[in-house]
């Protein structure tokens, strides 16, 4: 459902701020959506951005020759990767996953094996199909590395990436050696995934070999926690994750199989411009992420603008809308405007109380997030945070799973 539009000058009147005569219209955001945008920005801003190298990535440095030992990762590195995985999953309304000790150990041994043999980063290393076991690596460890690499997301790089950069590479999947299948993304955003494991080790060639365990036998037979995962996500999505020459978009269906390559249109609801997606492909037979349907496509020359709303029509399969926002709140100059209450003039809105005005209520919400003590209202037993919670809001989490209300899957 589209939201009613309101001009920047009207918003200026509400806020009593003198804007120089601009009348261009843009997407309006509900107060709840603005809250969610700021919540996502806050969560992203709080993620650890430490850059890692061979000097700070380990708690115990591996020994990659005789008396082979996989070593151990800095616990902060592991936790940061899990935090990023769960942040990205939250954009799609997916539940958190956890890293287990066993999977972490297996992933670390696998990464150390690849680092020890300086595995070729430009060919498929799932299952180590082109590599030979050196004598200083036991048959048992080699088999574990083959099995784990076969069931994991792998990432190889020579830059001093943060732990989160590795996960960003996997979710955008723009360095995928096998093309546009978005298999790494599908596993990260699996509707059946519950546990993972993290490993990383540096080879003498300077590459960081990263391993993220994703295919787990127990997860394969779980019921999906939601029927659809669309990229960009429904409702709200960071513009940073939608753009990029090699970033393709995707649609995953948990339990419904589509074998065709449908026509796909992308409409900017603010400008009215419609473009046709290109390079539409169907990878459903691959089973990535334990999804029954995997459709990928390029947004082609669609102009992507933070603050705009877009409609995706995957004809005969799925149709939805989303609004773009800037994930990096420190660089966000987007005007996330809110629509006035129906049948109310700007003058009437400006005279309403703080609790009644959506814009002033938003200011109080943001103030409560930054200064929780300031949210205590004088002479009242309940504070503002409790009051807002009754509207579906709390300090650290906003209700995000509205997707099912607008689900459109056609036969």
Residue 373 in this model has a pLDDT that exceeds 50 = no
Do residues 181 and 72 touch, judged by C-beta distance below 8 A? Answer: no
In this predicted structure, what is the pLDDT of residue 174? 87
Task: Decide if 356 is inside a domain.
Answer: no
Q: What are the tens digits of pLDDT across the range 177-231?
A: 888 999 999 999 999 999 999 999 999 999 999 999 999 999 999 999 999 999 9
Name the strand (E) or helix (H) holding 268: strand 264-268
Could you tell me the two tokens for 13?
Answer: 């009147």
Question: CA–CA separation, 313 vs 277, rounded Å?
Answer: 10
> 23: which residues sit within 8 A by CB, 6+ positions away?
7, 8, 9
Residue 114 in this model has a pLDDT that exceeds 60 = yes
Residue 360 in this model has a pLDDT that exceeds 80 = no
CA trace torsion 75, 81, 86, 92 (10° rounding)? 180
Name the strand (E) or helix (H) holding 210: strand 208-213
Task: Decide if 37 is inside a domain.
Answer: no
Cα dihedral 52, 54, 58, 64 sign: positive
- Give percent of the chain with pLDDT exceeding 70: 76
Do residues 280 and 295 touch, judged by C-beta distance below 8 A? Answer: yes
Question: CA–CA separation, 394 vs 39, rounded Å?
Answer: 10
In this predicted structure, what is the pLDDT of residue 177? 86
Task: Decide if 74 is inside a domain.
Answer: yes
Task: Decide if 254 is inside a domain.
Answer: yes
Decide the pairing of beta strands 278-282 and 208-213. unpaired
Q: What are the tens digits of pLDDT across the range 278-312?
A: 999 999 999 999 999 999 999 999 999 999 999 99
CB atoms within 10 A of CB 379: 4
Could you tell me the two tokens for 150?
Answer: 């076969």
**Range list of H helices, 173-288:** 183-188, 217-220, 239-242
Question: CA–CA separation, 85 vs 383, rounded Å?
Answer: 33
C-alpha distance from residue 147 to each of 135, 142, 214, 220, 315 (Å):
19, 9, 12, 16, 39
- 199 and 72, same structural domain? yes
Question: CA–CA separation, 178 vs 123, rounded Å?
Answer: 9
∠ CA 158-249-261, rounded to 5°: 130
- Give percent of the chain with pLDDT exceeding 90: 72
Residue 268 in this model has a pLDDT that exceeds 50 = yes
Average pLDDT over residues 262-280: 97
Task: Decide if 195 is inside a domain.
Answer: yes
Task: Decide if 349 is inside a domain.
Answer: no
- 263 and 209, same structural domain? no
The CATH number assigned to the domain holding 230 equals 2.60.40.1220
Q: Which domain holds residue 258?
A: 226-327
In this predicted structure, what is the pLDDT of residue 153? 97
Token pair 């298999």 is at which residue?
Answer: 183
What's the residue count for the chain? 411
Residue 344 in this model has a pLDDT that exceeds 70 = no
Average pLDDT over residues 311-321: 98
- 268 and 181, same structural domain? no
Token pair 């804007």 is at which residue?
Answer: 19
Do residues 112 and 149 touch, judged by C-beta distance below 8 A? Answer: no
pLDDT tier, 6 (very low <50, low <70, confident <90, very high otherwise): very low
The CATH number assigned to the domain holding 204 equals 3.40.33.10
Residue 77 in this model has a pLDDT that exceeds 50 = yes
Could you tell me the two tokens for 60?
Answer: 């115990």
Average pLDDT over residues 71-87: 98
In this predicted structure, what is the pLDDT of residue 267? 98
In this predicted structure, what is the pLDDT of residue 21? 29
Task: Decide if 58 is inside a domain.
Answer: yes
**What are φ and ψ of residue 187, in 5° steps?**
-70, -40
pLDDT tier, 395 (very low <50, low <70, confident <90, very high otherwise): very low
Q: What are the tens digits of pLDDT across the range 33-61?
A: 999 999 999 999 999 999 999 999 999 99
Average pLDDT, the chain: 82
Task: Decide if 320 is inside a domain.
Answer: yes
- 79 and 183, same structural domain? yes
Could you tell me the two tokens for 271?
Answer: 């400008």
Question: CA–CA separation, 215 vs 125, rounded Å?
Answer: 16
Residue 351 in this model has a pLDDT that exceeds 80 = no
In this predicted structure, what is the pLDDT of residue 176? 86
Question: CA–CA separation, 387 vs 373, rounded Å?
Answer: 14
Helix, coil or strand: residue 239? helix
Q: Output the pTM of the full model.
A: 0.78
Do residues 51 and 40 touch, judged by C-beta distance below 8 A? Answer: no
In this predicted structure, what is the pLDDT of residue 240? 97
Average pLDDT over residues 267-283: 97
pLDDT tier, 387 (very low <50, low <70, confident <90, very high otherwise): very low
- 230 and 214, same structural domain? no
pLDDT tier, 246 (very low <50, low <70, confident <90, very high otherwise): confident
Cα Dmax for the chain: 81
Domain final residue, candidates 190, 222, 254: 222
């Amino acid at each position: 459902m589209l939201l009613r539009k309101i001009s920047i000058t009207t918003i200026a009147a509400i806020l009593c701020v003198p804007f120089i005569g601009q009348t261009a219209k843009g997407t309006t955001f509900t107060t709840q959506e603005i809250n969610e945008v700021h919540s996502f920005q806050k969560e992203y801003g709080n993620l650890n951005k430490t850059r890692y190298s061979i000097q700070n990535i380990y708690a115990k440095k591996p020994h990659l020759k005789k008396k082979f030992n996989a070593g151990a990762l800095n616990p902060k590195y592991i936790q940061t990767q899990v935090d990023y995985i769960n942040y990205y999953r939250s954009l799609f309304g997916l539940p958190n996953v956890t890293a287990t000790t066993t999977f972490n150990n297996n992933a670390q041994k696998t990464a150390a094996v690849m680092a020890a043999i300086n595995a070729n980063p430009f060919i498929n290393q799932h299952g180590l199909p082109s590599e030979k076991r050196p004598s200083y690596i036991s048959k048992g460890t080699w088999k574990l590395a083959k099995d784990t690499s076969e069931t994991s997301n792998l990432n190889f790089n020579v830059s001093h990436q943060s732990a989160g950069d590795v996960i960003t590479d996997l979710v955008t999947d723009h360095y995928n050696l096998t093309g546009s299948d978005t298999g790494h993304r599908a596993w990260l955003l699996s509707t059946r995934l519950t546990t993972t494991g993290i490993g990383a080790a540096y080879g003498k060639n300077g590459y960081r070999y990263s391993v993220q365990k994703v295919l787990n036998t127990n997860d394969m037979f779980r019921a999906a926690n939601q029927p659809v995962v669309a990229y960009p996500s429904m409702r709200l999505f960071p513009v940073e994750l939608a753009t990029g020459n090699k970033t393709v978009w995707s649609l995953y269906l948990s339990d419904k199989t589509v074998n065709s390559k449908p026509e796909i249109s992308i409409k900017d609801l603010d400008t009215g411009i419609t473009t046709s997606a290109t390079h539409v492909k169907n990878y459903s037979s691959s089973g990535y992420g334990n999804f029954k349907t995997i459709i990928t496509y390029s947004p082609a020359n669609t102009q992507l603008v933070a603050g705009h709303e877009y409609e995706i029509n995957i004809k005969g399969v799925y149709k939805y809308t989303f609004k773009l926002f800037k994930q990096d709140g420190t660089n966000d100059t987007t005007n996330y405007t809110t629509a006035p209450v129906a049948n109310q003039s700007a003058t009437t809105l400006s005279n309403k109380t703080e609790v009644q005005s959506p814009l002033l209520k938003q200011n109080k919400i943001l103030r409560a997030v930054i200064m929780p003590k300031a949210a205590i209202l004088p002479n009242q037993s309940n504070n503002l945070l409790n009051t807002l919670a009754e509207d579906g809001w709390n300090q650290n989490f906003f209700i995000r799973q509205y997707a099912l209300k607008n689900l459109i899957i056609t036969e």
